[in-house]
Amino acid sequence: MAAIVTRFPPSPTGALHLGGARTALFNWLYARRMGGRFIFRLEDTDVERSKQEYTDSIIEAMKWLGVDWDDGPFYQSKRTEIYLSFIEKLVQTGKAYYCTCSQQTLEEKREQALKTGGKPKYDGLCREKGLPKTADAVVRLKTPLAGKVVFDDAVKGTVAFSNEELDDLVICRSDGTPTYHLAVVVDDITMGVNTVIRGDDHLSNTPRQIHIYQALGEPLPLYAHVPMVLGPDKKRLSKRHGARSVLEYRDMGILPQALINFLVRLGWSCGDQEFFTANELKEKFNLESIGRSAGVFDPQKLLDINGDHIRAAKVEDLLDGFRTFASKQGLATKDDTFDLAVIETLKIRAKTLEEMAQKAAFYYTDKVDYEQKASEKFLTPQNRPVLEAVVEALDGLDVSDLKAQEAAFEKVMEKTGLGFGKIAQPVRVALTGSTASPGLFEMIAVLGGETTIRRINDTIGQIKA
């Protein structure tokens, strides 16, 4: 059996969005699972809409996701001579022909067909004329006039199209540029692609491309048309559903492994398992488990999965990302030891790196800003003796010893007659300005005894008697 070869061929007419990224992942994971090759190419023949900035952003997004390719990136714009040689072969073998029908003539034929209840398709006027190449001629493929195109799709099963529904496809424009269908087939043939995994919005393109394969006498690839990603309203996913480009998700603090996990699970399953690492997906991904119904985009589920991946990650692997978002928040991070300790206290409480940086702000400030409600409720004259007792208990203590901290707070509980919660909340507000924070002992250990005592004393000084 030949090695599996898949490909991902985006058009650089925009950024890489979720649907395209999922297609790339399916092809990449299947190639990795099967020990095959994954090819990356850019269909950049739309000169007006293709831009270098989009090419760069697509490549950047692929690299950020960790989707590595074995060959490429290839650019269709640099392969014109290859396409023209195949077009010439089709003409020479009588499988294609030159057509000189003008746009006006074609439009008139279309309107006439619609008036008489016919199909608005090319009627084959030039099909058997044997016309020579001229400046205004296009090249059309001779599509079979009867019968069906039938193929087995790895997701949809047996699919059939009637040839009577199709006309003679233009495969080369009058300016000498190949059309999309011709270029795609030639690329896949010359690059050895034998497995085409793509969105089912391409399903209607398949009979056209099969005709080109057959005209060239080439074997067909295995097709797998996967359902589209839809919004919660069951309509095609778009920005109105909150969907962003891949790099925008990076910039909001989503981890690449979480986005991969989320996208692959949109339409593919492996029992009841929800959490996957990229390596697990490389081992388990298959075509048989791709569902036939569309995946529904749920932004909250993405956040939940991202939170799971943050919790599962090593703090060292979160450090660079955390510092990036901390810098965006205007926070001056410190040495590795301190920053890693901060991350450790927050990783179970944040669903994005951006949220983690926001929650970390109190660690990197010299002056705590108290939330009004928290201050009014807990920084009261009645709690001043409590805070004073905590300072006394922590003075000279090695706060990195959590058991020593626990013993110190037990002494405060005995002295004040209050439960731990009644003591912890005013201390929490004094240290962070908020009633929500990491675990008190862990937080004090990171801040250190000197900073902890200074902040509590500053708070005591601001409490009105």
At position 41, the amino acid (one-letter code) is: R
∠47-50-55 over CA atoms, to 5°? 140
Closest CA to 433 of 465, 409, 455: 455
Annotate 128-161 with b (16+ C-beta within 10 A) or e (fewer). eeeeeeeeebbbbbbbeeeeebebebbbbeebeb
Judged by DSSP in three states, 413 sits in helix
Enclosing H/E stretch for 442: helix 440-447
Q: Rg of the chain over CA atoms, in angstroms?
A: 32
Give the Cα separation of 441 and 402 in Å (integer): 6
Q: Which long-range contacts (CB under 8 A, 24 or more apart) does 405-411 make?
A: 405/441, 405/444, 405/445, 406/441
List the structure tokens of 425: 């909340």
Q: How many CA atoms lie within 13 A of 460 on its CB side?
A: 16
Please tell me which residue in 129, 133, 148, 239 is annotated as part of the active site: 239
- 239 flagged as catalytic: yes
Query: What whole-number distance in Å separates Cα of residue 75 and Cα of residue 78?
Result: 6
Which of helix, strand or coil describes residue 52? Answer: helix
Q: Is the dihedral of CA 411, 412, 414, 418 positive or negative?
A: negative
Nearest to 90 by CA among 146, 144, 148, 142: 142
Q: Which residue carries 């998700």 as its tokens? A: 249
Peptide bond into 73 cis (omega under 30): yes
Report the run of H or E that residue 17 belongs to, with start and end: none
Query: Which residues form the catalytic set?
Result: 239
